[in-house]
Amino acid sequence: MTHLDHAAVLDALETGYRRVTDVVTGLGEAELMRPTGCAGWAVTDVLFHQLLDAQRALVAFATPVTEPADRDDVTYWAEFTPQPGEAGARARAAAAAHARFVRLAASAYPPGTLARVWSETSAAACRGARACRAAGVATQGHVLRPADFTATLAVETAVHYLDLTEDLPSAPPPDPASLALVRRVLEGLLGSPLPAGWDDAAAAVKGTGRVPLTDEDQALLGPLAGRVPLFT
């Protein structure tokens, strides 16, 4: 994997968060309940989930640690790869519980309020990212370099931007730099380049299982097709 450009990753996060803000600002109640690329989740649910991520970012950037990093921008996502058997069942149960929490919490916000809280929190998270001078930050039981952690946030918001705007046809296109980071993660987890015919948006939705692989996709991937989705 090529070395991350910290400045470019900071720009990608800021652009990705700002595009979410631009899309959700001014949405009415009916638009907030439109479906998304996350099965069973409405726009308001995805936005609240994103808010939780921005809050986690604020905590992490304010939690400098001296321990060496044990994850980078790619290996961080390995724990989000679908698992078979009992481990997979536990993960699905946890995801269902999170979805219930998100729906209940998001529904408590009047139209416009959640977008405003998101806008304020995401902007603060970006300022925290730019101000962080620590060698490492702690999040979800792991330590990452700030550049790697920032990249994970940019990846998360890039994928969820595609989810968020699936039924919002007037939304602007996703940020290319953020989608390139998604492809970097997918190819890093796969250990092989994705098909050249997939643009970065297609790679994001196919590589994360949001769009099923076609027969042609499976032929292009060969034996590697069984490892998709690479993270969800």
Cis geometry, peptide bond prior to residue 229 (ω within 30 degrees of 0): yes
Ramachandran sector of residue 131 (left: φ over 0; alpha: ψ -120 to 50; beta: rest): alpha
Residue 171 is inside which H or E element, if any?
none
| Strand, coil or helix: 208 | coil
For residues 225 and 71, is the Cβ–Cβ distance under 8 A? no
Residue 86's pLDDT is 75
Provide the CA 206 distance to its chain's centre, in angstroms. 14
- State residue 1's pLDDT score: 63
Q: Kindly report the CA angle at 188 between 184 and 190, in degrees rounded to 5?
A: 120
Tokens of 13: 């996060």
Question: Virtual CA dihedral for 54, 132, 13, 98, nearest 10 degrees?
Answer: -20
- pLDDT tens, per residue, the chain with 232 residues: 678 999 999 999 999 999 999 999 999 999 999 999 998 999 999 999 999 999 999 999 998 999 999 999 999 999 898 777 777 677 778 878 988 999 999 999 988 999 999 999 999 999 999 999 999 999 999 999 999 999 999 999 999 999 999 999 999 999 999 999 999 999 999 999 999 999 999 999 999 999 999 999 999 999 999 999 999 8
Count Cβ atoms below 10 Å from residue 227 Cβ, excluding itself: 15
What letter does residue 28 receive in the DSSP assignment? -
Please give the Cα distance from 16 to 218 (Å, whole number).
Answer: 30
What is the model's pLDDT at position 93? 82
Q: What is the domain partition of the chain in residue ranges?
A: 6-227
Half-sphere exposure of 147 (CA within 13 A, CB side): 8
HEC-encoded secondary structure of 144-203: ECHHHHHHHHHHHHHHHHHHHCCCCCCCCCCCHHHHHHHHHHHHHHHCCCCCCCCCHHHH
CA dist 112 and 132 (Å) reads 30
The answer to whether residues 148 and 76 touch, using CB atoms and an 8 Å cutoff, is yes
Give the CA radius of gyration of the chain.
17
The residue to which tokens 């890093």 are assigned: 188
CA distances from 142 to 45, 83, 131 (A): 26, 20, 21
Cα 186 to chain centroid distance, Å, stands at: 12
The CATH number of 6-227 is 1.20.120.450
- For residue 192, which amino acid is it? S
Determine the Cα–Cα distance for residues 58 and 46; give it in Å rounded to an integer: 19
